[in-house]
Amino acid sequence: MVKRIAALSMLLLLATTIEAKPFKKVVGQEFPAVKVTDLMTGKEVDLSKELKKDEIKGAVITFTCIGCPVAKAYEERKEDLVKKYGDHFVFIFLNANMGSETADAWKDYAKESGYSGVVAVDEGSKIAKEIGATVTPECYVINPKGTVVFHGPIDDSQDPKYIEDQLLANALESLVTGKELPEEKREMQAFGCGINYAKAEQ
């Protein structure tokens, strides 16, 4: 119990840039249109078309960034999920922090960090604003119809030693197996650093 409290305290200390924005519940709603340029390949990605492919069970959209220590703590875990579920899910990593980070810096960081999946910029922080994303990392799982079926953090502990609930992995597994995800596990507040929305769009 003491270790658990210590871990949670560390989370609060590290997530120093969390902004006081309201938590927006979106499970059951349609995710905004995603048409982005993959910075790693230069190719245009239209998520609606990707979701129509026979082998695809859904998509994972994760809002993340360069400078957040919480997001950095999850880099290995994010890549592990891509390796395990990449054949059945479209993984898109969106940087909406265009108020403080650049596309070139984001591309370089993604390369250095060994990102797989689609690495893109949320121009004008438009998608983040529309869906209500507030922190990094914050994840949304959508089904082939484009409906949000999970919204929340990757798991329940920034420190991997204290993970008790593999929230995102369980959501993906539910789509692969067809087993329904418990209602209380479908949506919860993500923890991390506040998204610095593009200044021109504020």
Low-confidence ranges of the chain (pLDDT < 50): 1-20, 201-202
pLDDT score recorded for residue 199: 72
pLDDT score recorded for residue 100: 85
**CATH code for the domain in which residue 15 is found:** 3.40.30.10
Upstream peptide bond of 137 is cis (omega within 30 degrees of 0): yes
pLDDT per position as a tens digit, 155-167? 999 999 999 999 9
Residue 194's nearest CA partner among 87, 74, 65, 80 is 65
Number of domains in the chain: 1
pLDDT per position as a tens digit, 108-152? 999 999 999 999 999 999 999 999 999 999 999 999 999 999 999
Q: What angle do the packed helices 167-177 and 75-85 form, to 10 degrees?
A: 10
Question: DSSP letter string over the chain?
Answer: -HHHHHHHHHHHHH-TT---------TTSBPPP-EEE-TTT--EEEHHHHTTSTT--EEEEEE--SS-HHHHHTHHHHHHHHHHHTTTEEEEEEE--TTT--HHHHHHHHHHHT--SEEEE-GGGHHHHHHT--EESEEEEE-TTSBEEEEE-SSS-SSGGG----HHHHHHHHHHH-PPPPGGGSB----SEEP---GGG-
Q: In angstroms, rounded to a whole number, what is the distance separating the alpha carbons of residues 158 and 149?
A: 23
pLDDT score recorded for residue 93: 98
pLDDT score recorded for residue 5: 39
pLDDT score recorded for residue 40: 96
Domain that holds residue 36: 2-201
